[in-house]
Amino acid sequence: MRILHVIGTLNPAAGGPTESVRMLLGYRDLGYEGEVVTLDDPGAPFLQDLPFRVHALGPQTSVYGFNRKLLPWLRENRDRFDGVVVNGLWQYTGLATLWTIKGHRPYMVFTHGMLDPYFKHRYPLKHIKKWLYWVPAEYWILRGAYRVLFTCKAESELAKQSFWLHSWKPYVVPYGAQGSTGDRDQMVESFFEVCPGVRHKRYLLFLGRIDRKKGCDLLIEAFAATALLDPGLHLVMAGPDARNWRPKLVERAVKSGCADRIHWPGIVLGDVKWGAFYGSEAFILPSHQENFGIAVAEALSCGKPTLLSDKVNIAPEISLEGAGYMEPDTVAGTEALLRRWIQTTSEERREMSDNALAIFRSRYDMRENAKAIMRLFELAAIHAGELPALATDMR
């Protein structure tokens, strides 16, 4: 089955949506053939040597991502595909897909957590601006989709709270990660070469954007408060710092006296990323909002327990299965995560590691996501006669 993914950028620094697209297009053995159209600059280094075809129409000139090339490209190429997946919201990519694909090919929208009501409460002024786009555009994009994809039931239910005007056909797809296939020891060594300060050290791993939404400040403060409980434990803060927040976080760590035990390797990819997971004791994410968290699934695939805030939507089931701990997304809650881990015995940690692998294999293997998307497009083809024609007044 040939599927087109439409996404604003494939830059790994953009986070989860880009990683999910890269993983899905790696399942050719399942029959998942695909291409990507993006608004990136064709010369961007992260587009080089990808194992799938990318049509880069950029560079992107605005946050909204308007691009004159996208509409004619979609019209010219839509008949080559069995279906189209729009990744993310609030960009021209969705509107262009509605205008060119609906009535010709089925399309689905993967929200990637962008309808979580957290954003409404955290950024109320931005939410008002989004209403101005929601009514004439985004609402119709979602309403016109064959299915709107969510990663878990909690995300699907929370999405209804963002806008009182809502109507779409939700579908929860299996979601997760693609486990590593390389040599574990070599991967760990590759990470130590990038982050030599933790060689021969025990450490917890945070891997994600250095961003307020991820609770990075909570983690620094909580680590400082519990540092004396386990003097040999270090913390790795890996990920891109697009907002240049790291210097302020380092300053906090210096004032608290634990800066020498916190390491900042920046963004880690490929074998270096997997080495960071394998070399760690556990993965920690005190996020204020997380529809899923691919890094959580990646940690589980490496047999690593996960220490999560209760705002990570899959945290309750991971905690229930004994593969990690869950606490509130506060400084006190993050301290509790660290204290609980420090007090966990070696035998309990081994059991949590076994549980982590088990829950990954049963629930969070990304191969199941690829299968689900193909099944949905197969059903869409069967019901093609039910697809409504494109409303001319939406152009």
Q: Cβ distance 191 to 268 under 8 Å?
A: yes
Q: What is the CATH number of domain 2-175+366-390?
A: 3.40.50.2000
Q: How confident is the model at residue 385 (pLDDT cuts 50, 70, 90)?
A: low
Find, among 232, 224, 233, 236, the residue nearest to 264 by Cα. 236
Q: Which residue's structure tokens are 């996960």?
A: 306
Asked whether 57 and 39 are in contact (CB, 8 A), the reply is: yes
Which of 119, 127, 173 lies closest to 146, judged by CA?
173
pLDDT(363) > 50: yes
pTM equals: 0.77
322: left (phi over 0), alpha (psi -120 to 50) or beta: left
DSSP structure class, residue 199 = T
- The residues with which 365 forms a beta bridge, in sequence order, are 177
Mean pLDDT of 305-320: 95
Q: Could you give the CA distance from residue 21 to residue 28 in angstroms, rounded to a whole number?
A: 13
> Which tokens belong to 38?
């993006």
Which pair of tokens denotes residue 291?
A: 């529809």
Sign of CA dihedral 295, 301, 307, 308: positive
Domain ranges in the chain?
Answer: 2-175+366-390, 184-363
Q: Which residue has the tokens 């990323």?
A: 273
Give the DSSP letter of residue 52. Answer: S
Q: Are 93 and 135 in contact (CB under 8 A)?
A: no
Q: What is the pLDDT of residue 390?
A: 36
Indicate the average pLDDT of the chain. Answer: 91
pLDDT in tens, 75-97: 999 999 999 999 999 999 999 99
CA–CA distance, 244 with 249 (Å, rounded to integer): 10
Give the torsion sign (CA, 313, 92, 15, 172): positive
Residue pair 203/263 in contact (Cβ under 8 Å)? The answer is yes
- Please write the tens of the pLDDT for every residue from 195-226: 999 999 999 999 999 999 999 999 999 999 99
Q: What is the CA radius of gyration of the chain?
A: 21
Residue (of 185, 159, 156) closest to 172 by Cα position: 156
DSSP assignment of 22-46 equals: HHHTT-GGGT-EEEEEE-S-TT-GG
151 neighbors 175 (Cβ within 8 angstroms): yes
Cα separation, 221 vs 268, whole angstroms: 23
Give yes or no for a cis peptide into 136 (omega within 30° of 0): no
Architecture category of domain 184-363 in CATH: 3-Layer(aba) Sandwich (3.40)
- The label of the residue with tokens 């660290």 reads 338
Sorting pLDDT into bands at 50, 70 and 90, what band is 296? very high
Q: At what angle do helices 294-301 and 270-279 cross, to 10 degrees?
A: 60
By mean pLDDT, which of 31-40, 98-107, 174-183 is the weakest? 174-183
Q: What is the mean pLDDT of residues 316-341?
A: 97
pLDDT at 118 over 90: no
Assess whether the region 2-175+366-390 and the region 184-363 belong to the same CATH fold: yes
In the block, tokens 């080089």 appear at: 48
Taking the C-alpha atoms of residue 70 and residue 92, their distance in angstroms, rounded to an integer, is 9
Please report which helix (H) or strand (E) contains residue 326, including its range: strand 324-327
